[in-house]
Structure 1
Amino acid sequence: MELRRVGRSGLEVPVLSFGAGTFGGSGPLFGAWGSVQVDEARAMVDLCLEAGVTLFDTADVYSDGRSEEVLGAALRGRRDEVLISTKAGLPTSDAPGSGGASRSHLVDAVDRSLRRLGTDHLDLFQLHAHDSRTPVEEVVDTLDDLVRAGKVRYVGVSNYAGWQLADALAAADARNRSRFVAHQVYYSLLGRDYEWDLMPMAHAHGVGALVWSPLAWGRLTGHIRRDAPIPASSRLHETAAAGPPVDDEHLYDVVDALLQVSRDTGHSVPQIALNWLTRRPTVSSVIIGARDAAQLADNLGAVGWTLDPEHERLLDAVSHRPAPYPHFPYERQEGFARVSPPLIASRAPQSPST
């Protein structure tokens, strides 16, 4: 398993990591993800460790903390072999003060996560959402205190806009506080918005991407195909509304290309979609999830090989979507691209600058 540094930090993680959102699943959303309990979770941890996957990601909001509890039990006796990442900041109840990034909430949230996970420290602690109500200075000061107390080793964010992350990084630098090293983001062959603002910013400021939902809410498992209904077993029936809408024709075009590459290479559709992501700039780790051991074993086969240039070009082209302003001149006009070359070469037609 390839190891990578997270941004410009000393934190080293495997290129594939495991997302424990399916652990202990309950409720309409998380129950649809999966409901893996301790014995099966322990077996899945075994599979991960055998493959070199040592980073396990969860959140306090996943099944009201049950995901953390099941993960902690599955890792018991093996804490020194793994890295644990969790998130806080989304409301976990209707009680006043639940959610957000205030000092009171973050200190309590970390202590609760440590108890549920059965550990004395978190290797990576991430803010699950931006809190517009709490001063950024309070946020970075609190996180730095948690690092200095030894409860947290590294800090990151998730689902931030570019300006929000830039604001937090600037505040941390100005106050000499612990810096965000990771950004947990949605990124897939069906959702490449990360490339427009967040990827260039991550490259410039040394922030590594941890990719969530790399198979686009199950759309890229190979079970959804042109002119066929969504299988009854698909979790899309319950979870599709949680993600951005996807044009049907665009989905089918991408799936058709994945099926072609699958026929050519012998690799499964999920393996190809995951492998494509591991080769994108700034990506430190792609978080894979699974509802059972068989699904996990297939996803683990996404590494140890490389797409050939022809297949990579095919996937780049079919998944490309026109960029919004102010990005489209840099993508479509030669003069803009010459003065500010993109991290990823565009497949869009170019025209001379005006």
Structure 2
Amino acid sequence: MQHRALGRSGLRVSRVCLGTMNFGTDPQAPTPEPEAHRIIDTFLDAGHNLIDTADTYRGGTSEEVIGRAIARRRADVVLATKGAAPQGAGANHRGLSRAHLTRALEASLRRLRTDYIDLYQCHVPDPDTPIDETMAALDDFVRAGKVRYIGCSNFTAAGIISAQWAAQRAHGTPFVSLQANYSLIARAIEAEIVPTCQEHGLGILAYSPLGSGLLAGRYQRGTRPADGSRLAQWAAMPSPMARAFVTGLLAERHFDIADEVTNVAAELRTTAPTVALAWLRSRPEITSVILGPRSSDQLTANLAGLAFDLPETISTRLNAASQCTVSPAANGQHHAT
């Protein structure tokens, strides 16, 4: 199993990252705890090491499930979590302030049953908190031994530069990673964010590699998302951003790309998810691809897809079919990771 350095750091992570947004203990959790444990064991036994979660996933129970699952294998895991999401009704219970991040980190450490986080990430930007305050707080976490490395998620190119400059001014700890929405139907990061990450030493962890299921054939052109599906849930949210994301994702051009992926899969006698994942793995700018399986069988199938080698002619064909996709709603960063 291949591993890569995460950005400009000495931390080596697997080319595949296990996303755990589906893990939880509540009855509505897509992946209940026993199956989550099987997924984690399958993932680690296959030689992968990067597991990603967040304090907001399933009300924090994703972290609890992971903490119990890796208790005896902690040294084998590069454990990543994220903070910034609301953790209470108070004005200081959200965002990237020192006050909130300090509380959020301590709560994550308790839920994960660990003394340290390998990669602690800012889940979303916070325009109300000076970036110098955020980076100073994160540096303090590193110096205290509670965090090993720091990263961000959903940041713009300008936000990344501001954060790295703030760390440099304070002789502190810089970001080593960015989580970004990236797939055959979401390539907007190639314009500014990828070059910025390369210049400023951030590895890229790609989430939504199957375009929220569109590239896997879960949604059909001209048909509303099925009740209970993730897109149906987002479309029903009061947030205009969530609804705009769904509308942008279900654009005609994206279905054209999904059709081309399906055609390629038929020609290669494989599946559409395999083609989409194999294309993403071949991108040199991507350090690790985040998979969010609901079952161990789904994980096994996705891992096989990431091991599939696309012929160069096919990669060129997929690039040509998808390279002009620049829809802000569907290709911009969304906050579901």
Contact 2:157 2:193 in 1 (8 A): yes
How far apart, in 1, do the equivalents of 2:226 and 2:4 lie?
36
**Quick one: structure 1 residues 250 and 215, their matched pair in 2 at CA, closer, same or farther if it must change by over 3 Å?**
same
Equivalence for 1:346:
none
Contact 1:39 1:74 in 2 (8 A): no
Equivalence for 1:117:
112
Contact 1:217 1:239 in 2 (8 A): no
Equivalence for 1:134:
129
Q: What does 1:21-170 correspond to in 2, within 5 Å?
A: 21-24=21-24, 31=28, 34-170=29-165
**Quick one: structure 1 residues 228 and 265, their matched pair in 2 at CA, closer, same or farther if it must change by over 3 Å?**
farther
Equivalence for 1:261:
264
How far apart, in 2, do the equivalents of 1:77 and 1:131 lie?
36
**Quick one: structure 1 residues 25 and 284, their matched pair in 2 at CA, closer, same or farther if it must change by over 3 Å?**
farther
**Quick one: structure 1 residues 100 and 234, their matched pair in 2 at CA, closer, same or farther if it must change by over 3 Å?**
closer
**Quick one: structure 1 residues 316 and 185, their matched pair in 2 at CA, closer, same or farther if it must change by over 3 Å?**
same
How far apart, in 1, do the equivalents of 2:35 and 2:192 lie?
39
How far apart, in 2, do the equivalents of 1:152 and 1:284 lie?
20
Equivalence for 2:290:
287
Contact 1:56 1:83 in 2 (8 A): yes
Question: Deviation at 1:229?
Answer: 6.4
2:314 is the counterpart of 1:319: no
Q: What does 1:228-239 correspond to in 2, within 5 Å?
A: 230=225, 234-239=229-234
Question: Deviation at 1:124?
Answer: 0.2
**Quick one: structure 1 residues 224 and 13, their matched pair in 2 at CA, closer, same or farther if it must change by over 3 Å?**
same
Equivalence for 1:178:
173
CA RMSD of aligned residues (A): 2.0
> Any idea what the Cα deviations from partners look like across 1:144-184, whole Å, max 9, x if unmatched?
11001110000001111111110110111121100100001
Q: SS of 2:213's equivalent? A: coil
Question: Deviation at 1:311?
Answer: 0.8
Q: SS of 1:153's equivalent? A: strand
> Any idea what the Cα deviations from partners look like across 1:59-104, whole Å, max 9, x if unmatched?
0011221110111112121111111100001212322211111111
Contact 1:100 1:131 in 2 (8 A): yes
Question: Relative to structure 2, which stretch is displaced further, 107-116 or 272-281?
Answer: 272-281
Q: SS of 1:283's equivalent? A: coil
How far apart, in 2, do the equivalents of 1:228 and 1:100 lie?
37
**Quick one: structure 1 residues 11 and 188, their matched pair in 2 at CA, closer, same or farther if it must change by over 3 Å?**
same
Contact 1:218 1:236 in 2 (8 A): no
Superposition TM-score, scaled by structure 1 size: 0.85
**Residue among 268, 272, 276 paired with 2:275:** 272
Equivalence for 1:250:
253
How far apart, in 1, do the equivalents of 2:270 and 2:256 lie?
18
Superposition TM-score, scaled by structure 2 size: 0.89
How far apart, in 2, do the equivalents of 1:301 and 1:210 lie?
19
Question: Relative to structure 2, which stretch is displaced further, 49-58 or 161-170?
Answer: 49-58
Name the amino acid aligned to 1:210: L
Q: SS of 1:124's equivalent? A: strand
The structure number with the bigger radius of gyration is 1
How far apart, in 1, do the equivalents of 2:225 and 2:125 lie?
34
Structure 1: runs of 5 or more not aligned: 325-354
How far apart, in 1, do the equivalents of 2:109 and 2:223 lie?
45
User: Sequence identity, in percent?
Assistant: 39
